[in-house]
Amino acid sequence: MTHDGTGSSEPIIETTGLTRDFRVRDGLRRRTVRAVDDLTLRVSPGEAVGYIGANGAGKSTTIKMLTGILVPTSGEVRTCGCRPVPDRRRLAGEVGVVFGQRSQLWWDLPVRESFSLLAAIHRRPPADARARTDELVERLEMAEILGTPVRQLSLGQRMRAEVAAALLHRPRLVILDEPTIGLDVLSKQRLREFLVEERATHGTTLLLTTHDMGDVERLCDRVVLVDRGRLVFDGDLAGLGRTVGAERVLVVDLAEPVADLTDVPDTRHLGSEGHGLRQRLAFDAQRTTAARVLAAVSTRVEVVDLSVEEPRVEDVVRKVYAARR
């Protein structure tokens, strides 16, 4: 039995040399694509890990091997102390998974019915199932949608229901695959707040894949970055920021055209449109904040509108890759 660095407990996820190949038909020829390549990863209970990488980097494949859906080509994997494929049904009780693009709810039944079915499937004691459902309904603000058939929910409502469905059986490990994809800003915000709370109350371990750096910044204390199936970074967000200098961009719409704002402290002027009516300023979130940049701009000219562009995961991946070479 192995222990993590602190010696406190057994890892909740442990992979050694985990590899998965797919055979792809390319015209008439078949070739092999390595989706996950020699991945060695250890996650301790209570951690919140952002698992990021571009499309096709192997994130979903990894998750499917961790949860016993896909059989690894080679390597070792242990999740919650189980071997995912042979112990699939036991593991299902320990893990809650949300696939942002797939539903685990019963499309034609009211949300309430999906919850009670899942409680029955996980064979939860009725009193516990009721208490947990009430808790999730309250915290995810779902009271008014409980009687609605799933097919009639908005995407934001459905994602909240999906998250609740995955957490109903009190899993120790929650895996979220693109949980905020397609959500508007407000829905994203609510979901993130809920997840932070859930972790704080129940000590749940979180592994999430995302294309949204905002998710990682607000939810995760550790970032694992993969590219073409290989692990290229494993550390905290500040470390990732140092590696790539992940910049955010403040876009300001001004009341009148002005010369390029090249003298705002801690920012880099990226460009102007409409004779200086809209200007784009890059800043490093480690060194300053959007509010400070905005305040600095406001002393020079009246700002009528603004938006903040988060660094895209693709850019971060590209930069990490460039930095490695």
Partner 1 sequence: MRSPVGTYLRLVRAGFREQSAYLLAAFGGLVANATFGLLKVAILFATVRAAGGELRGYDLAEMSAYIWLSQGLLGSVNLTGRTDMADRVRTGDVAVDFLRPLDVQAAAVATDTGRRLFALLPRGVPSVVIGALLVGMSTPGSAWTYLLGAVSVLLGIVLSCACVYLLAVVGFWIVETRGLQILYMVASGFLAGLFVPISLFPDWLHAVAVSTPFPSMMMYPVDLLSGRVEGLPALLLVAQQAAWLAAAAVLGQVLTRAGRRRLEVQGG
Name the site residues for partner 1 (rule: CB under 8 A). 22-23, 60, 64, 67-71, 85, 88-90, 92-93, 95, 97, 99, 101-104, 106-109, 113, 117, 120-123, 125, 149
Minimum CB separation of residue 104 from partner 1 in Å reads 5
At 208, phi and psi to the nearest 5?
Answer: -135, 140
Three-class DSSP category at 107: coil
139/266 Cα distance (integer angstroms): 39
> What are φ and ψ of residue 58, in 5° steps?
110, 10
Structure tokens at 203: 């000590």
Of the pair 44, 116, the CB lying nearest partner 1 is at 116
3-state helix, strand, coil in the chain (%, to 5): 35, 30, 35
Could you tell me where the DSSP H helices lie in 140-184? 155-167
Task: Quote the least distance from Cβ 169 to partner 1, whole Å.
Answer: 9
Question: Which of residues 113 and 315 has its CB atom nearest to partner 1 in the complex?
Answer: 113
> What's the token pair of residue 292?
């400070």
Q: Which is nearer to partner 1, 95 or 282 (CB)?
A: 95
Give, rounded to a whole angstrom, the gap between the first and last alpha carbons of the chain.
37
Burial state string for 209-218 with b = 16 or more CB within 10 A and e = fewer than 16: bbbbbbbbbb
Which residue in 117, 212, 208 sits closest to 169, CA to CA?
117
Q: Residue 105 or 246: which CB sits closer to partner 1?
A: 105
Nearer to partner 1, 50 or 96 (CB): 96
Check if the beta carbon of residue 103 is closer than 8 Å to that of residue 179.
Answer: no
Q: Which is nearer to partner 1, 171 or 311 (CB)?
A: 171
Least distance between partner 1 and beta carbon 322 (Å)? 26
Rounded Cα distance, 301 and 259, in Å? 10
CA pair distance 83, 80, nearest whole angstrom? 9
Name which of 103 and 279 has its Cβ closer to partner 1: 103
Rounded Cα distance, 240 and 13, in Å? 22
Which is nearer to partner 1, 67 or 157 (by Cβ)? 67
Count Cβ atoms below 10 Å from residue 70 Cβ, excluding itself.
19
Least Å from the CB of residue 59 to partner 1: 9
Packing angle, helices 313-324 and 237-244, rounded to 10: 70
Report in angstroms how near the CB of residue 58 gets to partner 1 at its nearest.
10
